[in-house]
Structure 1
Amino acid sequence: MIYNSQYKYAYKNNKLFKVNSNINEHIFSQKLGMTKINIFIKIILSISFIAFILSMVWSIYLSFNPHIKQEKYTTKQRLFNTMLLIIPAMNECYALQKNMDALLSLHDQCKNNFNLKLIFIDDDSNDGTTELLQKYSSIINVIVIHRVKPHAQEGKGPALEDALKRISNIVIPQSTLIGIIDADSHLNSNYLIKVWHTFEYSNYDLVQTRVDIFNTDSNLTNMQNFELSIYNGLLQMIRTNWGSALASGNGQFVTMSMAQEIGWSTSLLEDCEFSLRGLLKGYFGTFINIDSVQQEGVKTIKKLIRQRIRWCQGGLQCLTKYSFKIIKSNKIPNMIKVDIILFLTMPYLSIIITPASIISFLILILYANTNFVLSLSILLALLCIEYTTNTLMVLKQLKASEGNIKLSFNQIIKNVFSFSLYRWILAIVPFCSIVRQLSGHNSWDKTSHS
């Protein structure tokens, strides 16, 4: 019995030891789990911090770089006597009804400098655009190109390429310029004369002009104006300083010689691809910041996101197709290479940065339960830095545009405080673009402004 009791006691001790061992293992597992969580949190916070710092440094660089200024062109280099202003007009009846008189008056206003022809592309419209343009097709210096399915409504690039082929035989390419504007654009003859002057007094084959939004009566359209007029304006000027601006949608102009050699493709971001193909061939561009074409901003978040998904997906297409060619090219300046690669890879980087930023914000909120003052101080400091850098960019662009940008105090305040929110609204765009690209959806969706 003693033996048995000792055995049981030993057995109990042995069992007790095993229980303690399990507890130790459980504690160790908990510590290991906490260590992994802490490492994850540190990685997330590090990603967010690095992204924030880089964004801040970039904004300060754009704000204080002395080379960000309008280039001056003083020596005549060549002669151009004709400008073809191409206006893609798929289902643009409403916009054309409002703008047609102003567009038609441009010819007489520019005739002392060059011969202006208006080229309207009716891309198998079904809203009355076809009938409206037909009324003006007999006017001198107005050419209407009607496209019909199955070769219509394939995108802006194919429409431009088709128009180029049809009008090539009516002008002398070496003395002809091609401009591309949207049907809802507001512009005047002084704007076109500045573009013409830039071509004649430089050796650039591409000129991109600043784009402003004219309907800045809501926060959404006002934020689009900050993006296009302020941020993109500064970006295009520094690109010009590095070697070449890039075509950017509305208000792009090229020599006809470049257009015929490069041509437009079916890319969802046809202007970017046109620029990249041009750079690979040795064609460079500049940016006009002291005048602008005005366009209508998108009025709803849903339509804005749909527009940006197309742009972003087009960037992904260009990245896949041209990244290695750009890196290997000996014609493209190194800083332009870096800018293009970063611009095209940003959607991929956003897939990491955006969730990291969201998680970091949640961590900051949770940390407020432990140290409210420190958490609030960090949050206020981040907002203060963001708003300060936005203000610096606005002030820089107001100066760089040489007084051409007119912003009221209320508009500046809206720009400064709303743009951060605007970027969060568009945070979903890269995810949707990548999913759309991977699923094989490459159809071209026209931007609707109404």
Structure 2
Amino acid sequence: MIIDGVGPAVNTLAIVLCVAFLAYVISILVPYLRQVPTTPGRAADLHWHLLLPCLDEDSVIERTVHRLLQTAPLAELWCIDDASDDTTPVVLAALAAAHPRVHVVSRRLPMARQGKGPALNAGWEAIGEHLDLLQPGVDRTRVVVGVVDADGRLDPSALDVLAGPRVFGDPAVGAAQIQVRMLNRGRDDIDGDDPAPTTWLGRALVDLQDVEFRTVISAMQLLRRRLGSVGMGGNGQFTRMAVLDQIAVEHGVPWQGALLEDFELGLHVLLAGHRNQYCDDVWVAQEALPTPAALIRQRTRWAQGGMQCSKYLPAVLTSAKISTPAALEIAYFLLIPWTQLIGSVVYTTALGVMGYYAFTTPGGVTSWFTAGGWGVFLLAAFFGVAPVAVWGPVYRRTCERTTSRTRALTLGLLHWVYTYVLLVAVWKAFGRFLRSESGWVKTSRVLRTSTHPAPDRPVRSYLNGASSGGAHRAGRVT
């Protein structure tokens, strides 16, 4: 029978994938548990500019700007209004009128709303004009451009740590990423006093995203730090202005067209001959998504962006500026969406084969189980559940020590379920990829507040998006 020939091959492939996954988990877990603190430097030794892309962000942008004015007192804040329909322009105008360090970059349709990358490029152009006008001749290797989401909260120590000798104090470092954590966990402390969702599912999803970013993703980045393949994230990424300029000379603009524009930028930094760094000691916090629909929509965009970035695989593998270990790790990451697709088919087929043997064994399922079938469940627990569920206890040990052991184990098991939910996003991304759909859908904010009145006086702004060239000109927002 066909099943007798296919079964062993499918089971063997499933075991190979499981062993490879377990080996990868161990390879990222060990550096994560052995990490050492980053030595801070002096933020005042560098020039800091923070980009805040804004599309319909009137519910969060005001408090974000006020927080950044306090936690990043040396930074200029560049709020990029991407043709918002709500009162975001009014809020930004009022903030710029009240605070000299707040600047507004206003984009207009039809050039606006093309994705986060084009919005960041508009901010980069505005910073360049600002430097040319007010700081001509400034050393752009000492100018650092960061990206903070409109709902973001920055660790007060972030800029000092980023200025340290292992990060931007090292001339070889072109870009750096800091840890990302979740705001809306209902914790009344400096990194998250936002109210938690009211439903059990919402709270669980928020906690699981915090587990994911502060353990799994941080562990991946710490391994990459050793290998030289650190990737940039959409929130909390920092890049030297000179490096952004260098990328723009070759490609026109720093941020390109992939839906995973952050990781794409990191690849360009590495291909340009610079090093990326990761700091787990400091963080940027953002709102987690409390519903499965919003989470899947976000991860569909990320997965499709990863598929789009697969086109860089030949350049990475042949680049003389990227080490072989770093290139192999990048290749592994770029192949993850594809291996997830293959793996889900293989595992589903293997499950079907197992079910066939269980129900066709003489004596039925009970005989199959007692004759050795029980071993399949042990293998599944060891290779399938444990490598994912372990991050719950790890989260308790490294991030939230007040979490009980029971809750840590529960989070670990829920994290295992969570990974299967995210597989839905991979398949949706694959469908969009096949249909060549690349539309950018913004994630809606959780928090909602009232609208704001118009400012009393005009504010200097940078207009962008009126033409394909994206040139800025000084204007007034009233």
TM-score of Structure 1 vs Structure 2, range by shorter chain: 0.7 to 0.9
User: What SS is found at the alignment partner of 1:202?
Assistant: coil
Aligned to 2:11: 45
Alignment match of 1:221 (pick from 191, 206, 214): 206
Once the 2 structures are TM-superposed, how far is the Cα of residue 190 of structure 1 from its aligned partner?
1.6
Conservation of the 8 A alpha-carbon contact between 2:82 and 2:112:
yes
TM alignment of 1:155-166, pairs within 5 A: 155-166=115-126
Q: Which amino acid aligns with 2:61?
A: L
Question: Partner residue of 1:20?
Answer: none
What do residues 305-359 of structure 1 show as CA deviations (whole Å, max 9, x unaligned)? Answer: 1111111111111112x11111111110111111111211222222221022123
Partner Cα distance (1:215, 1:136) in 2: 24
1:32-58 per-position Cα deviation (integer Å, ceiling 9, x unaligned): xx1x22121122212221111111122
Contact in 1 for aligned 2:38/2:161 (Cα 8 Å): no
Instruction: Name the CA distance, whole Å, in 2 between partners of 1:187 and 1:439.
Output: 38
CA apart distance, 1:370: 3.6
The correspondence for 2:381, drawn from 359, 380, 383, is 383
CA positional deviation for 1:95: 1.5
2:421 aligned partner? 425
Which of the pair is proportionally richer in helix? 1
Q: Check 1:316–1:225 CA distance in 2 against 1; reply closer, same or farther (3 A cut).
A: same
Contact 1:74 1:201 (C-alpha < 8 Å) held by counterparts: no
Instruction: Give percent identity, aligned residues only.
Output: 24
Residue number in structure 2 paired with 1:447 = 443
Q: How far did residue 407 of structure 1 move?
A: 5.8
Partner of 1:4: none
Q: Which runs of 5+ in 2 are unaligned?
A: 132-137, 186-195, 197-202, 248-253, 359-364, 447-478
Native 8 Å contact 2:174 2:269 kept in 1: no
Provide, for residues 386-432 of structure 1, a one-character-per-residue CA deviation record: whole Å limited to 9, x for no partner: 55434655666777xxx665561255223311111111111122322
Give distance in 1, aligned partners of 2:207 and 2:41. 38
Cross-structure match for 1:408? 403
8 Å contact 1:291–1:404 — kept in the other structure?
Answer: no
CA spacing shift, 1:89–1:407, aligned 2, 3 Å: farther
CA distance in 1, matches of 2:337, 2:36: 30
Kindly indicate whether the alpha-carbon contact (under 8 Å) linking 2:229 and 2:326 is maintained by their aligned counterparts in 1: yes
Tell me if 1:86 matches 2:71: no
Pair 1:223–1:362, CA change in 2 (3 A): farther
Q: Which has the higher contact order (CA 8 A, sep 6+)?
A: 2
Partner of 2:259: 268
Q: 2:336 aligns with which of 346, 349, 352?
A: 346
CA contact under 8 A between 2:52 and 2:148: conserved in structure 1? yes
Partner of 1:280: 271
Q: Deviations over 1:152-185 (max 9, x none)?
A: 0101111111111111132332321111011111
Q: Measure, in 2, the Cα distance between the counterparts of 1:404 and 1:121.
A: 33
1:182 aligns with 2:166: no
The alpha-carbon deviation at position 365 of structure 1 amounts to: 4.3
Which residue identity lines up with residue 128 of structure 2 in the other structure?
A: S
Query: Which of 331, 343, 346 is the matching residue for 1:356?
Result: 346
How has the CA–CA distance of structure 1 residues 352 and 381 changed in structure 2, closer, same or farther, with 3 Å as cutoff?
closer
CA displacement at 1:65 relative to structure 2: 4.6
Aligned partner letter, 1:167: I
What secondary structure is seen at the aligned counterpart in 2 of 1:174?
Answer: helix
- Equivalent-residue separation in structure 1 for 2:207 and 2:412 (angstroms): 10
Q: Please say which structure displays the higher CA radius of gyration.
A: 1
Question: Equivalences for 1:83-162 in 2 at 5 Å?
Answer: 83-107=48-72, 110=73, 115-138=74-97, 139-162=99-122
Contact 2:229 2:329 in 1 (8 A): no
- Residue identity matched to 2:110: P
- Give 1:289 shift: 0.9
Distance 1:40 1:386, change over 3 A: closer
| In structure 1, distance between residues paired with 2:168 and 2:306 | 31
Counterpart of 1:326 (choices 316, 324, 328) is: 316
SS at 2:206's partner residue? helix
Give CA deviations for 1:123-168 in whole Å, capped at 9, x if unaligned. 1011211111111112211101111101101011111111111111
Letter in 2 for 1:379: F
Question: What is the TM-score of this pair, normalised by structure 1?
Answer: 0.83
Question: 1:249–1:398: structure 2 CA closer, same or farther, 3 Å change rule?
Answer: farther
Shift of 1:61: 2.4
User: Which has the higher mean CA deviation after the structures are superposed, 348-357 or 124-133?
Assistant: 348-357
Structure 1 residue 88 displacement after superposition? 0.7
- Counterparts of 1:301-320 in structure 2, within 5 Å, are 301-320=292-311
The alpha-carbon distance between structure 1 residues 413 and 404, as it changes in their structure 2 partners (threshold 3 A), is closer
- Unmatched 5+ stretches in structure 1: 1-33
Q: Say whether residues 1:201 and 2:169 are aligned partners.
A: yes
Cα distance 1:60–1:174, how it changes in 2: closer, same or farther (>3 A)? closer
Aligned residues: 405
